[in-house]
Structure 1
Amino acid sequence: MKQDRQYFIKQVAKVTGLTAQLIRKWEERYQLIEPKRLPNGYRLYSESDVNTLLSIKSLQKQGYSITEAVALTKDHNNTMVSDADEVHPLQTASMPASKLNHFVISMLESGSACNELELVVLLKQAFHYFGLNAFLTEVVAPFLKVVGDKWEAGEWDEFQESVSSLVVRDMLVQIRRNFQYNDNAPLVIGACLPMEQHEIPVHFLLLQLLLKGWKTFLIGASPAPGSIESLVSRLKPRIVLLSASTTLPFEHDPELLNKLDRFAGSMPATVFYMGGEGALEYAKKHVPERIIIARNMEEVII
């Protein structure tokens, strides 16, 4: 992957969601980015420029003024360069968690155009470049985070979000199905709750557990009522991962969590985890006795 990858302003606008006019205005007024100029006057922006613009946009979304956002981003970039080992006050949660690499930036451009074929090619290239673990953390996770942010902010429509998410999902399914594992490895079952359609987080976790020597089984999106209990009883896994990105499963069946919690109590040899924004929200007022509510992946990836 080339480190000096450059982008025209139209590409930067697609990725960042900022207009070309605003990008030029920020460039000229705040001197925060310095694109190269071609003889014909066209600007070429670097990956660093793209990430800087995304940082300013993220800070503005958190309530900072443009002046404050620019100052924070400048100071953050300077401290990161001056001493990467020292912890500085500006290295806080207000700054974007990670920098987008060339693959993610190109995928966002393809996703914006709903170019499914280009997305597939980029995902395959990134997978072979990084290897599975870094592919998940450096490509898949940040890409889906930005896609979700764009859809939530109204920058992308449902079709753009759907195409991007489905291409990633299909890639993760393909990788998991082709992964070689030991038949004697301990089993983990991942399942969406009934009415839950977002299965990508489950694929993500199962792939990380495959890397740690587990054998995996997936119960896909919106399983039929009772199917989770039936399969867990039959397969007797070491771990069960339950996912709810929304509270819809609990709204549809107010007794769902209690039923699953009682079932978990009948399987003492199996550890049950439940995660996702919907599960976390619902568990604020409905705390299960047997099921562990996981707030992040690190609590599950053991």
Structure 2
Amino acid sequence: MYFIQQVSVMTGLSKQVIRKWEERYNLVQPKRLENGYRVYSDTDINALLSVKSLSEQGHSVKRAVQLTKERVTSLETVPTSIRPIQHPPALNDYVFRLLEKGTHCNELELHLILQEAYHALGLSDFLTSVVVPFLNKVGNKWHQKEWDEYQESVSSLVVRDFLVQIRRNFRYREDAPLIIGACLPFEQHEIPLHILLLQFMMKGWKTTLIGASPAPGSIESLVKKLKPAKVILSATTTIPFETDSNLLNSLDQFAVEHPQIDFYLGGTGALDYTKRKKFRAIYVTNSIEDTLITQKNTST
């Protein structure tokens, strides 16, 4: 249960707006403590987030409330085993707590909550239901100017350091196939690669990461030295391609010269930049399943 100040921090809505939606539209029905203070549940917070999201998409608040209530009602009539994913997806208690501590840039508490969630949920659920939703909310809050750069930076760095710690302590077979994950030169966002490589490690791979903004030529040098089975190149922004217009042509030629290695390119920036481009040896994808196809074909 959460007090209204905590709900305001988590949702980005003012306390006045929360009370207004409660009283005018009967959107949520918080419980009252003996002292009269409102306390809100996870369900209440998700309802508020849903209305906020729908209103940002152009719906009136009244219509957004109606759609939210209809969605909740329809879900209640469907067996849990076949219920569709809600939009926006429901956030859990760990994400709410992380958002609260991130607002105040409390690094120690952020780390402790991540540790608690990881041990409680296991790695797979931890990544999909805590790390990814939390980072999405952090990005949204920064883009909408609800958070400043320091709040965004502290929260992201704590998550990155925690994922690095997990990767360092992850056990794998010595004969496991190797995959290299690499940010492109001038690309600063390495967290998506940490998540992807951890997903590969759960599938039996050992991994090596070339982190944020590597020096030109470092990717090719490491690939020659380690001879991995796969290489994943990542660009969340289009900055690498705008900075070096020949970057992809050079990497594609390198991939042609190493046909025994599968090269993949992913990330929002890469997908946007390469919409109408074709490569001889690099496969553009944002799906972990796609990158496993070659391994399956080889095994058969």
Work out whether residues 272 and 290 of structure 1, in 8 Å CA contact, stay in contact via their aligned partners in 2: yes
What's the counterpart of residue 300 of structure 1? Answer: 291
Q: Which runs of 5+ in 2 are unaligned?
A: 294-300
**1:181 alignment partner, SS class:** coil
1:146 aligns with 2:137: yes
Matched residue count? 293
Work out whether residues 208 and 301 of structure 1, in 8 Å CA contact, stay in contact via their aligned partners in 2: no
What's the counterpart of residue 250 of structure 1? Answer: 241
Shift of 1:289: 2.6
Shift of 1:86: 9.3
Deviations 1:167-196 (A, max 9, x none): 000000000000011110000000000000
**2:146 alignment partner, SS class:** coil
Deviations 1:276-298 (A, max 9, x none): 11101100133323211113444
Work out whether residues 190 and 218 of structure 1, in 8 Å CA contact, stay in contact via their aligned partners in 2: yes
Q: Compute the RMSD of aligned alpha carbons.
A: 1.6
86, 107, 132: which one aligns with 2:123: 132
What's the counterpart of residue 165 of structure 1? Answer: 156
What's the counterpart of residue 284 of structure 1? Answer: 275
Q: Which runs of 5+ in 1 are unaligned?
A: 1-5
1:45 aligns with 2:36: no
TM-score, structure 1 normalization: 0.93
Partners of 1:84 and 1:69 lie apart in 2 by: 25
Shift of 1:85: 6.1
What's the counterpart of residue 296 of structure 2? Answer: none
TM-score, structure 2 normalization: 0.94
Alignment of 1:46-195 (within 5 A): 46-84=41-79, 95-96=87-88, 98-195=89-186
- Give the letter for the 1:41 counterpart: G
Work out whether residues 244 and 275 of structure 1, in 8 Å CA contact, stay in contact via their aligned partners in 2: yes
Partners of 1:67 and 1:269 lie apart in 2 by: 58
Deviations 1:174-229 (A, max 9, x none): 00000011110000000000000100000000001000000100111100000001
Deviations 1:242-268 (A, max 9, x none): 110000000110000111111111111
Partners of 1:229 and 1:301 lie apart in 2 by: 22
**2:231 alignment partner, SS class:** strand
Distance 1:207 1:69, change over 3 A: same
1:199 aligns with 2:190: yes
Distance 1:108 1:85, change over 3 A: closer
**1:44 alignment partner, SS class:** strand
- Give the letter for the 2:20 counterpart: K
Partners of 2:103 and 2:230 lie apart in 1 by: 38
Partners of 2:59 and 2:247 lie apart in 1 by: 41
- Give the letter for the 2:239 counterpart: L
1:23 aligns with 2:18: yes
Identity of matched residues, %:
58
**1:241 alignment partner, SS class:** strand
Shift of 1:92: 8.3
Partners of 2:280 and 2:136 lie apart in 1 by: 31
Farther off after superposition, 133-142 or 290-299: 290-299
